[in-house]
Structure 1
Amino acid sequence: MDFSEKKATILGAGNIGCSIANGLTASEIFKPSQMYLTRRRTDKLNEYAEKGYLVTSDNIEAVKHSDVIIACVEPHQLDGILKEIAPALDAEKHLLVSVVSGAKIKDIQKNVPEGVAVVRAMPNTAIAIRESMTCICSESKDSGPIETTKAIFDTVGVTLEIREEQMSSATALCACGIAFFLRAIRAASQGGIEIGFHSNESITMAAQTAKGAASLLGAMKNHPEYEIDRVTTPKGCTISGLNQMEHGGFSSAMIKGILTSAEKAEKLY
C-alpha cells in the first residue's frame, strides 16, 4: 500500500505518540514531512521539529491536511479532542485510529461525523524500534480501514486482528506487558549483580538472554515449556532455580498482574 502521497496526524504526541512517530518514519512508510505531531506544549517537541516533523498545537489544522489520524491522548481527554476536530473530519477522506485505552468504537463514533472510519489499535512502546505487538479491531463492514491500519502497523512490528471485547486484555498483555517483561529483566540483572557481575555487565547479559528467549520462540514456533525442558537436566541448576522461583510465586504474580491491568484498562475511559 502506497502512502507516499498521504499525511498522518498524531494527536497527543506524548510517549506512545512519539514512539509511533519514530517507528513509522524508521520504517519509511511516512517521512517526517508527512507527519503532524500535536500537543499543547510544542516546546517539548523541538527535537522532532528539527528533524522535519510538522509540529503544531492546532489540532484542526493538522487534521485538515492529513489522511490518517492517530489519537494518542489520555482517556479523559478523548471526548474533548474528538469534539474539537469533528468539524474538520471528512468521511470520504479520513481514517481515525484510536490507541486510547478503554474507549470503545461506539463511544468514539458518538463524537465524530457519521461515516468516518474508526479503527482501534493497541501498540506498545517497542514500536519506536519497529518491534511492536499491535492488536487492531474495527466494526466496519468495509475491510478497507482495517487493511490500511494493518498495512501501517505491519511496518513497525507484528499485528493481530482481534475482537473489540478483547482489546482491554490486549492492552494488559501487550502494552502493559512491556513494563512487566522489563521488570523481569531488571530482576534478573539484580540477581546477576548479587552473584558477581557489575551492573552494566549484568543488564547486558539479562537483556540479551531475554531477547534470545523471545527470538527462540518466534523462530522455532515451539511451546515455552518445550524449550524449558531442553535446558533442564536431572538434579541440574536450571530446574533448581525455576522451582525456587515458582515457590516464590513467579508465574502466579505475572498472571495476577496481567489480570489486574486488564480490569483497570476496561475502566480507564
Structure 2
Amino acid sequence: MKVAIIGAGNMGGSIARGLVQGSLVKAIDITVANPTNTKLKALKVFNTEIQTTNNNQSAINNADIVIFAVKPWLMQEVICQLSLASDKQIIVSVAAGIPFSEYEQWIGPSTTIFRLIPNTAISQLQSMTLIASHNATKEQEQLILNLFNEMGVAMLIPEKQMAAATALTSCGIAYVLKYIQAAMQAGIEMGIYPKDAMKMVAQSVKGAAELILSNETHPSVEIDKVTTPGGITIKGINELEHAGFSSAIIRAIKASNS
C-alpha cells in the first residue's frame, strides 16, 4: 500500500512519522511532497527510506491513499492543480471546516473521501483522531481507522459532528494544556521548581486520562475516590466550582464550535 502526503508541515510531517512507526505501511512506500526542502530534509533524517519530492503530481501518481495536509485556504488550489485517479485512490483531507460537498465539486461526486481531524499529540502517537467518510466501503473505513489507531485513538463519526468534536479534541487539547500551565504556576508559588511542577502536573493529567481510557469509568467515579469527607481534595474541588471552573470549560468549548 502506497501513501502520498501533500504537505510536510506540523501535521503532514507528524502523520508521515506516525505511519513509519506503525505496522501497516513501509517507509519506502510513503512519499511526502512539499514546495520547500527544509521539512523534507527533516523527514529524511528521521527515516532515510521516506520518499520526498517538490512535485505534488509525482507524489500521488502511484499512491493508493492521498493525504492532503495543507491549510484550508490552499486546499482547492492544490487539489485542482492535480490529476487524481479518483476512481482508484482514497482521498484524505486533514483540513478543518471544508465539507464533503466542496470536495465533490473539486474532485468528483463518486470519489472516496475521508475528512480527518487529528490533534497535535499525533507527533507522540497519542492523537485523538476524528474521521468522517464519504462514498467509502466498510473495508475502506476500517483501513483508515487502523492506520490512525496506530497513532493514538481514531473514531469514526458523522460529518455533522465534526465541528463539535473538533472543539472537544483539537481545540480541547489546548484547554488541558492551559490547566497544566495554571497548576504549574500554583506549584511555583508554593515553592516547587517550574520544571518539577510541570512534570508533576503533566503526569497527573496523563494518569487521569489513563484511568478513564483503560477502565471505561466516569470522571465522577474517579473524583469520588479521592474526595474524602472533610479532606483537602474536596475543598479544592469546591473552590473550582465557586470560581466557575466547569462553566468556563463548557463555555470555551462551545465558543470553539461557533
TM-score bracket, shorter-length normalisation: over 0.9
Larger displacement relative to structure 2 (238-247 or 27-36): 27-36
Say which of 54, 67, 70 aligns to 2:67. Answer: 70
- Check the 8 A contact 1:122/1:170 in 2, yes or no: no
- Check the 8 A contact 1:134/1:158 in 2, yes or no: yes
Q: Would you say 1:11 and 2:6 are equivalent positions?
A: yes
Report the count of equivalent residues: 256
- Check the 8 A contact 2:145/2:154 in 1, yes or no: yes
Say which of 229, 240, 250 aligns to 1:245. Answer: 240
* 1:99 alignment counterpart: 94
- Check the 8 A contact 1:42/1:57 in 2, yes or no: yes
Could you tell me how far 1:114 is from its partner in structure 2? 4.5
User: Percent identity between the aligned chains?
Assistant: 37
Distance 2:99 2:80 in 1: 16
SS of the counterpart of 1:97?
strand
| Pairing of 1:183-222 with structure 2 (within 5 A) | 183-222=178-217
* 2:77 alignment counterpart: 80
* 1:169 alignment counterpart: 164
- Check the 8 A contact 2:113/2:136 in 1, yes or no: no
| Pairing of 1:247-262 with structure 2 (within 5 A) | 247-262=242-257
Could you tell me how far 1:69 is from its partner in structure 2? 0.8
Q: Would you say 1:138 and 2:133 are equivalent positions?
A: yes
TM-score (norm 1): 0.90
- Check the 8 A contact 2:121/2:127 in 1, yes or no: yes
Distance 1:81 1:20 in 2: 19
* 1:54 alignment counterpart: 51
Q: Would you say 1:224 and 2:219 are equivalent positions?
A: yes
- Check the 8 A contact 1:91/1:116 in 2, yes or no: yes
Flag structure 1 segments of 5+ consecutive residues without an equivalent. Answer: 1-5, 264-269
Distance 2:213 2:53 in 1: 40
Q: Residue type of the partner of 1:13? A: A
**Quick one: higher RCO (CA 8 Å, sep 6+), 1 or 2?**
1
Cα 1:144–1:110 change in 2 (3 A) is farther
* 1:266 alignment counterpart: none
